[in-house]
Amino acid sequence: MEALLTEPVETGREKYTANRSKLYSLFAEVFRYPDESFRRQAKNNDLENSLTFLIKSLPYRIEPDASLLASLRILDGIEDEEIETEFIRLFEAGPGSPPCPLAEGLFREDRKAIFKELILFYNHFGLSYEEGSMEDRPDHLCYELEFLHFLTFKELLSVQKDEDASPYVRAQRDFLERHLLSWIGKLLEKINKLRENLPDPEDACIEVFEFYRGIIHLLHEFIQKDHEYVNSLAKQ
């Protein structure tokens, strides 16, 4: 679903849509397995700088508190193995399901029905889906964020070409309401509750845990504000 913003951004609507699209893409990358490129960006503050810039360039205000922003700066000096191990412990390991799963169907009833509806969403907009690894399940957070990146990118192209962008705006509103908004708050509650009962320091890296907890807080606020924004656009 990766898309490149190849045309010049000129109007306010174009700028805001481009930044929203980039932010969805960036959040999707954050919740993938932390490879070498990601770890480098997180450690040298490139990730924090990108998030901060995009958040300040949206058509609405998001004002995270200082402690949340500070949590994005604490990976410098953390060993790569600790970052990878904590990611796996939080999001991928565990009998049955991990402590904090990144999959909609593990927070709601009837995962099979959720799969079906998501695939219909993706296919309707010309995105073929073939089930692969666990991360590639249609209800994985990365996949849902990438789909919103795709929809906002298509909105941007329509605005630039002076074409009707309303189908993509309505799709964003509907997808947020039917999917991300229905479980991101539960994901946030889950990781906040885990904070109260962290394992022994030998079994968990508090810096990495707080980094991802801060990211989930940011994502939750972004999703809520973005839904309010697209809902207002859809009514125009």
What's the per-residue H, E or C state across 200-228? CHHHCCHHHHHHHHHHHHHHHHHHHHHHH
CA distance 46 to 40: 8
Helical (H) or strand (E) element with 36: helix 36-43
Amino acid 136: pLDDT = 65
Long-range contacts of 229-233 (CB under 8 A, 24+ apart): 229/59, 229/60, 230/169, 230/172, 230/173, 230/176, 231/173, 233/169
Domain 12-234 has CATH 1.10.3480.10: yes
CA distance 125 to 127: 6
pLDDT averaged over 10-residue windows placed end to end, the chain, 236 residues: 46 92 97 94 90 93 81 86 93 83 94 93 83 67 96 96 96 97 96 82 81 95 97 90
Q: Which residue has the tokens 């889906």?
A: 129
CA distance 59 to 20: 9
Amino acid 69: pLDDT = 76
DSSP category for residue 108: S
Domain boundaries, the chain: 12-234
Residue 82: which of 200, 208, 201, 213 has the closest Cα?
208
Amino acid 39: pLDDT = 92
Number of residues assigned to the chain:
236
Amino acid 94: pLDDT = 66
